[in-house]
Structure 1
Amino acid sequence: MYNLLVAEDEPKMRLIIRDYFLKKEFAVWEAADGMEALRLMGEREFDVVLLDVMMPELDGFSVCKAIRREKDTPVIFLTARIAEEDQLRGFQMKADDYVTKPFSLPVLHAKVCALIERSRGKLTEAGRLVSGAISVDTLAREVTVDGQPVSMPPKVYDLLVFFMENKNRILTREQILDHVWGQDVFCYDRAVDTTIKKLRQALGHRAGCIRTIVKVGYKFQEVEDE
């Protein structure tokens, strides 16, 4: 059974989401405002957090930022705000997805399950990451593509590992800079683009797994053989 936190200030919406996920055999906790959401996060571990943006006491963006200081729990924003700048801000807060109201409950459930699967299945075995034909031995820092060893500079390797650990998740340039280069190191966004170009070259015909998300960042996804 998975633990789900629904932080939403509209009682009717919380009830609808709670009842649906209870039928899917989730354990569901509810928060009516941002402060209550953080209190619950401090009391137990959740598999996914559904987070409304506009809430009293503390808005969803602030809650997500606070969560990310301590945990890597998957977060999905639920909101009626559809402006591009709001969605970009959501991803800048390191949310995993951004769902606008009204939304389909079955689709939301599918997104939640996919995030849980991703967060729980990063490593297929001790120190190894695998996505299709790409395999990384994180203990030996070795990469193989289609069974053939591929040499990569340290930053290119670190970028590949970060992508594979966050497969199917949109990553902003800011997130990539913070993780690969470090928050205390000043780099231009151009450094990300240049390193991704080198990674694509290293992956050869498997480079299609790295998608450019216009005005947002990048996403690593497994590409099946034709």
Structure 2
Amino acid sequence: MSSEPDPRVLVVDDDPALAEVVARYLRRDGYEVDYAPDGPTGLERALATRPDLVVLDLMMPGMDGFEVCRRLRETADVPVVMLTARGEEADRIAGLDLGADDYVTKPFSPGELAARVRAVLRRATAQAAPAALLIGGGLEVDTLAHTVRRKGAPVTLTTKEYDLLVTFLTAPGRAFRREELLETVWGWSIGDTSTVTVHVRRLREKIEDDASAPRHLATVRGVGYRWEP
């Protein structure tokens, strides 16, 4: 019998009936589930208990999911799956831009959400780099300590930004298609490649001297991106 503790998921949603259905499906999959009825409570609980993943409703009174995600990302790197009742691309991109790892549009099947949670947790725990120390473009990435330094100063990256950076540094000079990065980093064989575009832009803002004219994380027109040493 495994001695590993069950993964802990925090569900933050102002609809208790929906939250109970989600929690039931997640518990059936072996997760330990906590619940917060609003944004401020969810943020406080997430920072205090550091769950393995947060399922976060977007539209909540008082403090919406965007603000919760933004504040959470300032101090923690907990994977986030956002729930939104609106399917507009702008909402999805805004959530991804703040560091969300995935999103599900309401109405959704609890089984689909549980599958998304499994996929995000699997990607968060399975990512590994072939070398302990990756160096390039003034960066030092310690894949054992999971730290990034730029010109000697620490750089804070989200899980997906870090995974992208490791992918590029592992194969400098190689052109990666957006679809390939979507499958390698997110595990999606089919999906919206704007997710990749958003995260590359955020990564450039943290590692390039001028994100509008990147020197190392280059765009390959009509293909995707390439790391220039």
Q: TM-score scaled by structure 1?
A: 0.66
**CA offsets per residue over residues 80-99 of structure 1, 9 Å max, x none?**
11112111111111111111
Residues 124-179 of structure 1, C-alpha deviation per residue, up to 9 Å, x if partnerless?
xxxxx2xxxxxx4252659xxxxxxxxxxxxx976614969x71176454532443
The 3-state SS of whatever aligns with 1:67 is helix
The answer to whether the aligner puts 1:179 opposite 2:212 as a matched pair is: no
Distance 2:47 2:65 in 1: 16
Asked if structure 1 preserves the Cα contact closer than 8 Å seen for 2:217 and 2:225, the reply is: no
Residues 1:108 and 2:113 are matched in the alignment: yes
RMSD of aligned residue pairs (Cα, Å): 3.4
Secondary structure, aligned partner of 1:94: coil
1:168 corresponds to: 186
Are 1:158 and 1:180, in contact at CA under 8 Å, matched by a contact in 2?
A: no
| Structure 1 residues 49-88: aligned runs within 5 Å | 49-88=54-93
Amino acid at match of 2:133: L
The answer on 1:38 being equivalent to 2:43 is: yes
Q: CA deviation at 1:119?
A: 0.8
Name the amino acid aligned to 1:88: I
- Equivalence for 2:52: 47
Deviations 1:52-110 (A, max 9, x none): 01112210000011111112211111111111211111111111111101112222111
TM-score (norm 2): 0.65
- 1:195 maps onto 2:206 in alignment: no
Report the Cα distance in structure 1 between the residues aligned to 2:60 and 2:215, rounded to whole angstroms.
34
Kindly, what percent of the aligned residue pairs are identical? 28
Structure 2 CA distance for aligned equivalents of residues 7 and 67 of structure 1: 13
CA 1:85 to 1:157, structure 2 compared with 1: closer, same or farther past 3 Å? closer
Uncovered stretches (5+) of structure 2, i.e. residues with no partner: 1-5, 137-163, 171-180, 188-192
- Cross-structure match for 1:139: 133
Aligned length: 177
Which string of whole-angstrom CA distances, capped at 9 and with x for unpartnered residues, describes residues 165-204 of structure 1? x71176454532443452784322x64997142996979x
The amino acid across from 1:119 in the alignment is A
Matched, 1:91 2:114: no
